[in-house]
Structure 1
Amino acid sequence: MEPLRGADPARIAGHRLLRRLGAGGMGVVYLARSPGGALAAVKVIRAAHADDAGFRARFRREVETAGRVVSPWVVPLLDADPDAESPWLATAFVSGPALDEAVEECGPLPYESVRVLGARLAEALDAVHGAGLVHRDVKPANVLLAVDGPRMIDFGIARMPEDTALTASGMVVGSPGFLSPEQAQGRGREIGPASDVFSLGCLLAYTLTGRRPFGSGSVAETLLRTVHDDPELDRVPASLLPLLRGCLAKEPGSRPGVAELRRALDGAGEGGDWLPEPLTRLIARRSAAVLALPAVEATEVSTASAATTAVDTVSAGGSGSTRRRFLVLGSAAGVLTAGGTAAWWTARGPGGSSAQSRTGRLPRLVVALHADLSGAHKAVGLAQENGARLAVDHLNSRTGRGFDLALQVHDDKGSATRAAQIARQLAADGRVRAVLGPTTDACAKATLGLYQEARLPMVTVSVGLDEVSPTTYRVYAATRPADATLAAPLVAYLVRTLAARRTVLIDDAAEGDFSWRLCSGIDDAVRSGQRTVIRRSLAADGDTTAFRALATSVTEGGADAVVFGGGYARAARLARALRSAGYSGARLATQRALDARFLTSAGEAAQGWVFATAFLDPTRVKAATSFVTTYRTRFGSAPPWYSAEAHDATLFVARAMTDLGASHAERAAITGRLRETDYRGITKRLHYDPSTYRYTDAMYLFRSTAGAFRCLGDYRDATA
C-alpha cells in the first residue's frame, strides 16, 4: 500500500479512499471503505481513457462480465458505475499477496498447497465457463492468496467464446508465458474454455517450480515456444506430470475439462492450513496493517484539530478541487520510527515477549558480508567490513534484544567468477539470512540471479546498478541511489549554485554507458532557452593531444562550467589540460573521480573541483558522532567513505529481523519486510519507495580544497 497523492480524490461515490494499491496505464486501484465500513478495492479509470467511447464500452462490459460470475473463489463485484465521469468498479478486498509475488518472495509452493490451489481455481473457472464466459487471462498476477483459499480476479478481457471482437484473427491478447497456443497465434474463434485450462496448467507448473514452463525472454520467443516446443516440467512431481501434460496439450480438444481437473486435484489440504507458514505469516502481517487503518469517520478531521497530525491533500472529485486535511495513515512501525533512530532497539519480540530461550541463550541469526577485501576495490570493501562489524557489536550490546547477530565475512577479491562461487556457497548455507554486498557492480551482476533464486536478500552498499527490475529481483535492496541519479546533484549545482549559462558535458568513453547516461541526464535537465549545453566525447584511448584539444575548445568556447564523466586518472589529465589552457570556470565530476590519486596526479589543478557522490564523510555529520568516536577507538583512524553507510545497511537488515522476530526471520520474510521497513540511520533514511523502486535518494557534494576533499553535505542543502 502507498499513501494517497495530492491529485487523488478523497471519495469515489460513497467509498472513502484510504491508500493506493497499484497503478497502471489504464487507471489506479485504491483501498477504500464502503459507506458501511467494509474494505474494498476500487478501480478508477484514467480520464484519458474515459473520454474514449470504445474504451468506456469495454469497461462497461468488464463490469457486466464480473457481475455474472458467482463463486467463493472469485473476488465478487460489489458496486460499479461505468457511466461516471471517471468510470469505476469496486470489488471485495483481499489482504493477501498475488500468486506471482508469493512465489517470488517465498519460493515455489509445496505439492499439497498446489493441489488445493489448482482445485479451487478449477472450481472458479467452472463458474466462469458456466456463465458462458472465457477468462482469457489466467496468470499468477490475477490470483490472490487468502488463508481460506485463492481468489481469481480481473475479467477485463473475459468474453463469450463466440465473441471475437477483441481477438480478431492475428491479434494476441493476454499475458505471454501463460497463453494457450491458440491465443499465441491469434486464432480468435478457437479460444474457448480449453484455453483457460492451458493457462491454468502453466500457472500450476510455475507455482510448483518457480519457472514458466515455456521459459522467459522476449514476447516473440515465448509465444514461439508456446506454439511449437514441449513445456519444461522437469521439476514437477511425478504424480502431477500426466495431469499437467494434459493441460498443456497443443490441441484444445486434447486437454481435460475443468471439472475433471477439480476431481483430480481435490481432497487435500481442507481447512485453513493449505499454505506454508511463511505465506500465512505474510498474509497475517498485511491483514494487521489493514486492520490498523482508521474507520471512515476517523480519517477526516477539521483543520483546527489537525495542526500537528495532518497533511494537506487535494480532492480531485467534483467540479472544483477543495483543500482538506486528513490524518496521516501509518503503521505502528512508522510511529515507532518517529520516536528516534535507536528507539527500536529497546523493543523485544512480537507481542512484547523476549526471544531468549530457557537456556538463557539468545537465537543466533547470521548475516554474510560479501565484499572485495583484497582486490582493486579493497579500500571500499574493508571500510564496509569495519562498519558492519561495529553495527553487529552495537546490536549485540543492547539489552532486551531478541537475538544475537553473527557476521560471516567472504572476500571475492573483486573477481566476478569468485563472487559467483561465494554466492552459491551462501545460497546453500541455510544459516545465512541476508547478504551485505558485493562491493562492485560487476560482482553484483554476477551474483544477483543466484541470490534471487535462493530468495536470499542482497543488501548492497556501494553498488549503483541502473537496470535492475524490482519485480524480477525482489531480493535486491540497494542502499545507495543508482548511478544515473548522480546527475541530480550536478544539475542542482549547475543551476542553483553557479547559474551556469554555457556548460560543456564531456562523455568519457572509457566509462562506457555510465558516462553517456550521466551526460544525457544533465543535458535533458539543464538545456533551455537561457542555458546552452555542448556535448563533447573523449575516446577511450585518447592521448595527451586529445586532452589538450578538448581543453582548448572548452576555453575558447567561453564555457563557465565543465562536467566530466570519467574516472580519477583521466580527470587528473583533464584538470591539468584545462589549467594549461587557462580555463577558470567550474569543474564537476562524480565519485568515480573522487580518489586521493586524483589529488596527487592533478596537483594544483585539482583545486576547486566539485564531485557528486552517493556517500558522505561521517566526520562532518552530527548524527554520526558516536560512530566516528567508536570507529577511531576500534580501528585507530577516522572512518573512511562507505563505512558509515555499511553500518546503516547492517542495522537496516537487523531492524527488519527485529520486526519479524527471531523465529520468523527467514530469508523470504526478510526480503518482504525490508520493503516495509523505515529506518533512519546516521547517514540517511532507508525506506522503499514503490514509485521509484529505490530505498534512498541520499546524494552529496564534495569539493577538493587545499589538497583534500571536503564534504559539502546533502546536495539539496548544499545548493539551496
Structure 2
Amino acid sequence: MRPLKAGDPPFVGGYRLLGRLGSGGMGVVYLARSTGGALAALKVIRAEYAADHGFRARFRREAEAAEGLTGRWLVPVVAADPGAGEPWLATAFVPGPSLAEAVTLHGPLPVRTVRALGARLAEALTEVHAAGLVHRDVKPGNVLLALDGPRLIDFGIARTGGDTALTASDVVIGSPGYLSPEQARAGAGPVGPPSDVFSLGCVLAYAATGRRPFGTGTPAAVVFRTVHEEPDLEAVPQALVPLLTDCLAKDPAARPTAREVCEALAGESGQDGDWLPPALPRLIAERSAAVLALPDPEPDPATLLLPPERPALSRRRLLTLGSAAGVVVTGGGLAAWAAGRTGNSGGGTAGRPLPRYAVGLHADLSGTGRAVGRAQERGARLAVAEFNSRADRAFDLTLTVRDDGGQAKRAEAVAEKFVADRTVYAVIGPTGDASSTKAVVARYERALLPLVTVSSGTDAFTALLDRVFFQLRPEEGNLSTALIYYLTDNAKSRRTAVIDDRAAGRLGWEIVKDLTDWPPSEGTTTSHEVPAASADFGPAATAVLAAEAQAVVYAGDSPHRGALCARALEQAGFKGTRMATEPVLQSGFLTEAGAAAEGWVFGTSYVDPARLPAAARFVASYRKRFGVRAVEPFAVEAYDALLFVAQGLRALGAAGVERGAMVQRLRASTYKGLAKTVRFDAATGQFHWADGLFLHRVENGGPRFLGRYDKVGRT
C-alpha cells in the first residue's frame, strides 16, 4: 500500500480512504474502511472517462453484474455509485495474493492445490453462467487466494450472452495468454460460457507449471498460437492433462461445462484451511497482521451534519468483510495491478515499494536431466523466499524459470529469452549436461549476463576468456583428487588398480592419468582396459586380483557400465576399496549393481545437506514445502548460488545494478554458503575447486555423505 497523494480525497461515499493500492490510466484503487470498520477495495474512475457515456454504461454494468452474484468463491460488491461525478465501486478486501503473485513468489502449486483451485473456480463460473453472464477475463491476476479458497474478481468486461461490446468493432477484449480462440478472433462470433472454461484451463495449466500453455512474447504471437497451435502441457502433472486438454479444445462445443469441470475435480479438492502449500498461509497471515495495524477510521465531517446518502447498491454484506491484502483491478477490467511489496512489509523505507530484481533459472525440467533441474528449481525458490523474508533487505527477488529440455537447440532459445529480458540480472544454469552449457555461454557472454552453474562440470571455458561464466563446482576431471586423498588417508592403499573403461572418453583418460601420475600413498598403480565395444568386465576384475590390488578405481562415466564393473569385481571375490566419480553415482548404478554397490565410495561435487548442521533449517523447509524425505543433489547448491547472486546485487546498491557490473562484482566476491564457500582465484578468476570436492559411500542401498574430501576421517 502506498500513501495517499495530496489530491486524493479523504472520503468517498462514506468510506475513509487509508492508502493507494494501485492506479492505472482509467482510475485509482484505494484501501478504504467503512464507518462500521470493514475494509474494502474501492475503485474510483477518473472524471475524463466518466464523461464518456459508453464507458459509464460499461462501469454501471460491471457493478450491477457483480452485485447480483453471491457465490462463495466470488468477491461481492458491497457498495457503488455509477452515477457519481467520479463513479466508484467498493468490493470486499480479500486476504491473500493473486494467483499470479503466488506463483511468481513461490513457484507452481502442488497438484492437490491445483485441483482445489480448479474445483472452486469452476463452481464460481457455474454461478456466473447460471446468471446469464460470461466473465471474459479469467486469468491469474483476477484470482485471489484466501485461506479458505480462491476468489474470482473483476467483472469489468463481463456481459450477458448476445450483448455487443461497448468498444470499437474488431477489438480483442481480454488478456492474451488466457483468452479463448473465439475471443482472440475479434468479430468471429458470440463468446459464451465455453470461453471462460478455456480461460480456466489456461489458468490451471499456469498454476501447475508456472508457465502459460501458449507461451509468452508479443500479444500478437500469443494470440496466433492460441488460435492455431496446440497448448504446451508437457510439464503439467499427468493426472491433470486429460481434463485440461478438454478445456483447451479449439472448438467451444468440445469443451466441458464449468459444472462438469467442478465435478471432475471436486472429489480431491482438499478441505477448507488446508488447501494451500505452507508458504502461502504465512504470506496471508503477514498481510492480515499489517492491515490490523491500520488506524481506526475517523468520521466524515459531512456525515456529522447530514444523513448518509445510500449507495446505489446494497451494503448488506458489509459485516462479512474484514480481511487483508490482495490484488485489485483497475481500468474497468482491462488491466490488473498486482500489489507490490512495500517497505512496511519487512524492508525498505516505509511507504515505498522495494525494487525487484529477477534471477533466471536455465533448467532441464522435461528431459533426461529433469531430476537435477527440478532440484535446482526447488532450491532456488527456497532461496528467494528466504531472502524476501529478511527484514533488512533493500530489494525483493523473483525467479524466472525456463526449460530447455536438456537439448542444445532449445538451450540456445532459452538463452535468447533471458538475454532479451532486461529485468534479469543473472542466470543460474544450465542444469543439464555440458552440451547445453557449451551451446549458450557465448550468447550470455555477448550480453554480459552472468551465468552461474552448479552442476555442469565442463572444462571448456576459462574465466579469463569467458567472463560471465561462473562454475561453482570443480571440473569433472578434478574429481579424481578426492579419490587419491581417500585412498591415501583413509584406505591407505599401496597398490591401486584402475579399470580403464575405454567407452568413457576424456573423463576416463583423465582419471587413469591422475592415478598413474600421483599414485595413492606413493605406492603403485596398474591399469586394466575394457574395450568400448565390450560389456565384459570379468577379465579386468581377474587382472585386478592377480595384481593383488588393495583398491580399485572405475575410470568411467556410465552408471550402467559402472554396475557391470561392480558385479564383476564381486563375482571375482574382490574385497578391497572400490571407487568411482560422480557421473556413475546415479539410481541406475544402485539398481543394476544391487548388493555389489555396497561400500563403493564416490568423489562428488555436491553435498547431502541433511548431514550438515548449518543446513538444518534449509532441510526442514525443503522437506515440508516439497513433500520429500531426502533433499535431492544440487538443491542446496542452487540455494547457495541464488544467495551468492543476491549478495552481488546488494553490494552494487540500487544505483549500480546492471549486468556488466554484476559480472565484475561476482568474480570479486566470497560467499560462505551452506554447501561450500564460493570464492575465485585472484590470478585466474576460476572457482577455488578444492572447496567443492566431497565424498559419498553407498550404505544400505543408498549414498551416505561422508564430508569434504580432505576432512573425511580427520574430525
TM-score (norm 2): 0.50
Query: Which of these two proteins has the greater Rg computed from alpha carbons?
Result: 2
TM-score (norm 1): 0.49
